[in-house]
Structure 1
Amino acid sequence: MITPRFSCSQNEESVVVKIYCPSVRASDIEINVDDTLFTVHINPYYLRLNFSQSLLEDDESSAQYDPSSGYLTVTLTKAEKGQVFKDLDLLSKLLAPRLTEPPPGNPIIEVLDSDDAADIQTDEDALVQATESLTLEQNEILEAAESDWQLKQEVPEPLSSLRTSPTDRYGFLDSYSGYFTHVEHTENEVNELGSEAETLPKSDRRKHRIEHEEKKWDEEYYLADYADGEHIQELLCWRHPHLQLPDVSYTPEEELAMLNLPRKEYLASPLQTRQLYLTLLTLLFAYAYESRTTQHDPTPESGWTLGILIPAFSALDPPPYTDKSTNDPSTFSIEEVISTFVASYRRSLAFPLYRSFALAESCRSDVASFLSKGRRMVLRCLLEMKYILDHHDVYYVYSKIWIDDFCVWIQANASDETLHQLGSLICSLKIPKADIGWDLEELEALVSNSEVGREADSDDESEDEVERMLPTPL
C-alpha cells in the first residue's frame, strides 16, 4: 500500500483532512473513524492517522473527491466543539500507531485468607532449629551483626559485561549494526574507527575519539584563525534566517520528507531519553556550525562537516560524557551539558575549515535559540540535515542510523517543555576554555602580547620619523 500525501487543518467544529490520491474511483473509497483513529483505504492508497482528541463520523461529516485535482477532502466532526487538536502539522506523529499501555511497575498482592498461620508458625520453628545448628563461626557473625562489630568487608569486583555477539550495536537507541562492515572499502572520511567500527565496545570508541582529536589538534592553525579574525568576524555577525521568522511553516518538500520517514514507536527508558536529548545538542551544534560557515547554502563538503563534528557519527560515541547527572530524568545537570558541548567544541577546533572558540560560542547560542522555539524548529533543522546527508553517496548512512529516527522521535516523543528548559540552560551556560584541554588561554595570550609588541614598535618608529622631520637647532 502507498501512503498518500496529506495535510490537516481544523476549525471550531471539525477537522479537515486533505489527501492527494489521483486517478481513483470515488465509489471505492472506504473511510472509518474509531475514536481518535481515522483510516482511509482506496486502492492502492492507505492512510491511518491517530489524532490527539476524539472524532465523530456523523451527519455533519463529509467526503468530497475532485477528479481534476486528485484531492480527497474529508471533514470530520470533533467530539467536543471548540476543542483544539494539537500538532496537526507534525505528520509523523499523526502516522504513528496508538501507544500501547505500559505494563504495571509492581505487582499488586492481596491476601485473600489467613488460615495459613499454622504453616507460618511451622516455618518459624524450622528457622529456629536451623539457627541453633549453626557453627561457632556462623554464630560469631550473627552476634557481630547484632553488636555492630566492625568486621572486615570487601567490595566484590564487578562482573564483566557478557557479550553474546562479536559486534557492538550503535545508532539511535543502539538499534543498528552491520552498516560499517565493509567501511574500509568506501570513501568514508568521517569514520574514525576504521574496520573496527562494528566490534569496538563503547569505552574503546570514546578512547579512539579522544586520541584522534589530540592527533588532529593544530595550535598553529588555531592561532592563525585567532590572529587574523576578519573572516571569522563575518561568520559571527551572521544570523540564521530560521531564527528571524515568527512561526514555523513547513514547505511541501519538508512535508513529503516527513511522509517518507519510517513508521516506528519508541519505548525509551528515562536514561535513554536523557541520552537522546544530549545527543540532540551535538546534532544541532553541527547544524549551526555548517549553517554559519556556508551562510545557509550547503556545499559538497557540508555532509563531511556535519559528520565530523558529531561524535555519535564519527566515532559512534554519543553522550553522556560524564557521570555527574541528576536523578530526575526531566532535568539536566550543568556538568553533563557542559561535557556535551566540550566534545563538540573540541571537534570544531580540530577538524573543519574555521577553528575559532568564538565561532563555537556563537553556534552554542544558535542551539539555545533553536531549542527555545520548540519541536517544530528542531524538526526543521533535522530535516535539513537529513536532506544534506541523504544526497551524499557515503554519508547517507548516518541519516539512516540517526537522523531518520530523530525526526520521528522529536515529533512523537520529545517535550517542548524539556527543549525550552535546555534552551534556557544553554543560553546562560559558560564553557571554560580550560575544559577544552589545549591551553587556549595561553595561546591567545601569546598572540595578544605579540600584537602589543608590534604596536609599541610602530609607535617608536613614528617618533623617530617625527624627530627626523624636525629642523636642526642652531
Structure 2
Amino acid sequence: MITPRFSCSQTEASVLVKIYCPSVRASDVEINVDETLFSVHINPYFLRLNFPHPLIEDDASAAAYDPSSGYLTVTLTKQTSGLEFKDLDLLAKLLAPRPPREAVTQPLIEVLRSSDNSLLDEDEELAARTQELSLSQEQEEILHAAENDWQLPQTLPESLPPLQTSARCRYGFLDMHSGYFVHIEHVENEVNELGADAETCAPSERRRRRLKHEDEKWDEEHYMADFADDEYIRELIAWPNPLTTSAEQFQYTEKENMAMLRLPRKEYLPTVEQTHELYLTLLTILFSYAYDVRTTQHEPTPESAWTIASLTPAFSALDPPPYAPSSRGPLSLSVDELEVTFAASYRRSLSFPLYRSWALAEACRIDVARLLAGGKRMVTRCLLELKEILEHHDVYYVYSKVWVEDLCVWTVAYSDDAVLEGLGKSIEAMAMKKAMVGWDLEELEGLTREDADHGPDSDDESEDEIERMLPAPL
C-alpha cells in the first residue's frame, strides 16, 4: 500500500483531510472513523491518522473527489464542536500509532510452565523440604531476636551488573541499534573515534576515549590565533540567523511535508530516565546543527555532514548524555546538568572545526535556546534539514539511521512543547564559564592580549625594514 500525500485543516465544527490520490475510482473509496482513529483505503492508497480528539460521522460529514486535480477531500465532524485540534500540521504525529489505552507500567511476564511439589521427583522433594525447614528456622531466629530487641546486622544487596548475552554493545536511539560499524575499518569514517571497537566498546570506555581524543585534538595555538584574528568570526556571530529572527508565521514547505511522510511508523515506549536522556541528546545535536548553520550562513557545504558528526558526541564516540548524574527528578533538567551537557559540545567546537572560538560557541548556545522556543515544530524542521545533510553523505548517513531518523519521529509524536520551551529559557539564561571545558582558556586569552599590546619588537621591525630595502627578485 502507498501512503499518499495529505494535509489537514479545521473549521469550528469539522476537520478536513485533503488526500492526493490521482487516477483512482471514487466509488472504491472506503472510509472508517473510530473515535480518534481515521482511515481511508482507495486502491493502491491507504492512510490511517490518529487525531488528538474524537470524530464522528454524521449528516455533515462528506467526501468529495476531484478527478481533475486528483484530490479526495474528506470532511469529518468534531464530536465536540469548537474544540481546537492542535498539531494538524505535524503529519508524522498524525501517522504515529494510537497509544495503548492503558500505559504499561512494568514488564509483562509470561509463565511458560507451572508445577507443584507433587510432580517433583524424590531428590527435588527432599531439597524442597530442606529449604522449607531452613526457612522456618530462620523465621524463628528473627522472631526470637525481635523479642529480645537484638540489633541484627543489615546490609543493602549489591546491584548486579546488566546481563550481557553478546559481545556487542548497543548504541543509538534508545540503544536500539547494533551492527552498523562491523566493517568500519573498510569505510572512510573520519569522525569515528572508536575505530574497529565501535561495536564492542562499553559506554564507560566510549566516554574515556572521547575525552582523551578531545584533549589530544585541543590546540592552544589554533585557539589563540582565532582569538587574536577574529574579524571573520565576529561577522559570523553578528549574522542574523533566519531560523531565530524571522517573524513570519510558521508553515512547513511541501518538501518538509514529504520528508515527514517518509519517516518510519514507529511506536516508542521509553522509560522516564530514557526520555530525560533523549532531551539532553537533542540539545547536543541542535548545538552541532546551529554551529554549521552559523558558520555556513545556512548554506550547507560538502563539509557540513563532517562538522555535524564531529561536534556531536553521540555520533563520533557513540557517547550521548547524561555526562553527570542528575541531582533532581528524571524529568527535571537542572542548570548544572545542562551546563555539563553544553560543556561537552563546547569542547568539541574548540577542538575539531575550522573556527574555534568561545564567543562563537556562546552564539550557538543562544541559537539552540531560540530554536527550542519555537517548540517541536521548529525543532522538527531543524532535524529534517540535518537528516537530509547526513543522508546525502556516502559515509555519515549512518548517523541518520541510528539517531536522527528515530529522533525526528519521537520529537513530532512524543516530545512536549512545554518542556522544549522551558529548556530554551533555561539555556538562554545560563552563564557558561570557560573553566567548564577543562582547558586554560582565560590564561591563553590573557597571553594573546599581552602579545597584542606589546606589538612587534624592534628587532622584527629592523628585519622588515631590511627586507623592504632589498631589490625584488628577478
Q: Same fold judged by TM-score > 0.5?
A: yes
Q: Say if 1:449 and 1:160 are closer, same or farther in 2 by CA, change over 3 A.
A: same
C-alpha distance in structure 2 between counterparts of 1:170 and 1:231, whole Å: 38
| Deviation (angstroms), 1:243 | 1.4
Per-residue CA deviations over 1:31-55 (Å, capped at 9, x if unaligned) read 1111111101011110000101111
CA shift for structure 1 position 244: 2.2
Match of 1:259 in 2: 261
Residue number in structure 2 paired with 1:146: 149
Which of the residues 237, 250, 254 maps onto 2:252? 250
- Partners of 1:46 and 1:139 lie apart in 2 by 68
The alpha-carbon distance between structure 1 residues 242 and 139, as it changes in their structure 2 partners (threshold 3 A), is closer
Q: What is the distance in 2 between the residues matched to 1:436 and 1:218?
A: 13
Using the TM superposition, give the Cα deviation of residue 369 of structure 1 relative to its aligned residue in structure 2, in angstroms.
0.5
Shift of 1:435: 1.4
Please report how far the alpha carbon of residue 70 of structure 1 lies from its aligned counterpart in structure 2 after TM superposition.
1.0
In structure 2, how many angstroms separate the alpha carbons of the residues matched to 1:132 and 1:191?
57
CA deviation after TM superposition for structure 1 residue 325, in Å: 2.9
Q: Distance in 2 between matches of 1:176 and 1:258?
A: 22
Q: Which residue of 2 aligns with 1:309?
A: 311
Residue 427 (1) aligns with residue 428 (2) = yes
- Which amino acid in structure 2 is aligned with residue 40 of structure 1? V
* Pairwise CA distance, 1:128: 12
| Superimposed CA distance per residue, residues 381-401 of structure 1 (whole angstroms, 9 cap, x where no aligned partner) | 101101101111111111111
**Pair 1:59–1:309, CA change in 2 (3 A):** same
Counterpart of 2:271 in structure 1: which amino acid? Answer: S
Mapping of 1:270-309 within 5 angstroms? 270-309=272-311
Distance 2:84 2:205 in 1: 50
CA shift for structure 1 position 190:
1.6
* Contact preservation (8 Å) 2:263, 2:405: yes
1:258 Cα shift?
0.2
One-letter identity of the residue aligned with 2:347: R
Who is 1:469 aligned against?
Answer: none
Residue aligning to 1:85? 85
Cα deviations by residue, 1:113-137 (Å, 9 ceiling, x for unpaired): xxxxxxxxxxxxx999847975xxx
Residue aligning to 1:96: 96
The residue type paired with residue 149 of structure 2 is E
Equivalenced residue count is 433
Which digits, 9 at most, give the CA deviation of each residue in 1:79-125, with x for residues without a partner?
11111001000001100111012135699xxxxxxxxxxxxxxxxxx
**Normalising by structure 1, what TM-score?**
0.87
2 CA distance for matches of 1:331 and 1:129?
Answer: 46
Query: What pairs with 1:48-67 in structure 2 (closer than 5 Å)?
Result: 48-67=48-67
Q: CA RMSD in A?
A: 2.5
Instruction: Give the CA deviation at 1:330.
Output: 2.8
Residue 155 of structure 1 deviates from its aligned partner by 7.1
Query: Any idea what SS the aligned residue of 2:31 has?
Result: strand
- Percent of aligned positions that are identical: 60
Name the SS for the 2:74 alignment partner: strand
Does the 8 A contact of 1:330 with 1:418 survive in 2? no
Identify which range, 241-250 or 195-204, moves more after superposition: 241-250
Q: CA deviation at 1:215?
A: 1.0
1:160 Cα offset (Å): 3.6
Alpha-carbon distance in structure 1 between the residues aligned to 2:254 and 2:60: 30
CA contact (8 A) 2:326 2:333 kept: no
More divergent stretch after superposition (173-182 vs 96-105) = 96-105
Distance between the aligned counterparts of 1:218 and 1:405, measured in 2?
A: 35
Opposite residue 320 of structure 1, the aligned amino acid is P
What is the rounded CA distance, in whole Å, between the counterparts of 1:128 and 1:201 in structure 2? 40
1:164-219 CA deviation, whole Å, 9 max, x = no partner? 11111100000011111111111111211111111111110111111111111111
Change (3 A) 1:346 1:43: same
What stretches of structure 1 of length at least 5 have no aligned partner?
Answer: 108-125, 462-474
Q: CA deviation at 1:145?
A: 9.0
Q: C-alpha offsets along residues 277-319 of structure 1, whole Å, 9 cap, x if unaligned?
A: 0000001100100000000000000000000000000000000
Cα 1:225–1:266 shift into 2, 3 Å? same
CA drift of 1:454 comes to 2.1
Counterpart of 2:447 in structure 1 is 446
TM-score, with length taken from structure 2: 0.87
Asked if 2 retains the 8 angstrom alpha-carbon contact of 1:168 and 1:200, the reply is yes
